[in-house]
Structure 1
Amino acid sequence: MKTNCTRLVLKEFGFSYLELLVTLAIAAILAGSALPNLNDLIRSGRLTEQTNNIVDALMTARNKSVTTHYNAIVAPVSSWTGDIRVFLDKNGNNSFNDGIDEVIQKYQASASGEMSISSTAQQFVFTSDGRALTSGDVNISNRGNNAKKITVSPTGRLKTETVQNTTNY
């Protein structure tokens, strides 16, 4: 007795050239529309990072002033856009003296000048009871729509808020 062998049909799997081109075109369109959002996300992340660095500097100074009973000062090395130094004012003259005052921490400037940082105070001085001798605002902005504002109250408390960027730096 003879059996019928069924013929197997082999089917090729994969994409045709046309299907590949259409898929790549759609991917390019989606990537092009997502790129501006990605830039905004990066700017927002850098703005948050710079704000957190300044808040950390202010909180470190306040905490150190309470624990050491010296005035602790947060001051820019040259300008607020540059490096920021936190130090204990051991001789009580409210300015940094190399060899006398103790540097607690130093924060590096924002990356490649992308931020605009300004303050209503030249420096922030915290006393041994945690109060701020100098109060004021630190404004941080970049080329995005949002900016951050850090307010140092006379009691030494900090308040951070997102504000509309009016400088569009």
Structure 2
Amino acid sequence: MAALEAYMTPEALPGTESGRIGKLLGLKAKSPLDDIGLADHIARGLAVSAAETLSLALGRAAVVGPLIPEATLRRAKKGRKALSREMSERLYEVSRVVDAVSRLYHGDEAAISRFLNRPHKLLAGRTPMEMAQSNSAGAEAVINMLRRAESSFAV
């Protein structure tokens, strides 16, 4: 999770969610990444390196398998092709959750890991990572729960 250390010093992070997600995915942009630029990257398909960069933050087991099948990743890498839009969107959704959790816990890797991997009663006993990996609605449920926590509602 060394990639999450940047969240310990918020002033060093990009000021926008798109910029932070771009950083989590290792996206290269000539200018600061905005919502449109991020949407374009995802629509075209992310590079295999985006999955690899997110794996550095979460561990390979959280990305390869649950989000992108090993064979799919291998084929894309061997053929030097972009990931499909569906795979790119999966990476994006999990990155949104990782960004929100990392901001809330200020880059504390142990706290981030505990939160992501511990079953939560507000998620019907599922872990936030399971919800984020399941689909976009699951990722949104976790993000909404985190927003409630930021607003001082008990979660």
* Bigger fraction of residues in helix: 2
Which structure would you say has the larger RCO, counting Cα contacts within 8 Å and 6 or more residues apart? 2
* Bigger fraction of residues in strand: 1
TM over 0.5: no
Q: TM-score, normalised by structure 2?
A: 0.28
Larger Rg: 1
Q: TM-score, normalised by structure 1?
A: 0.27
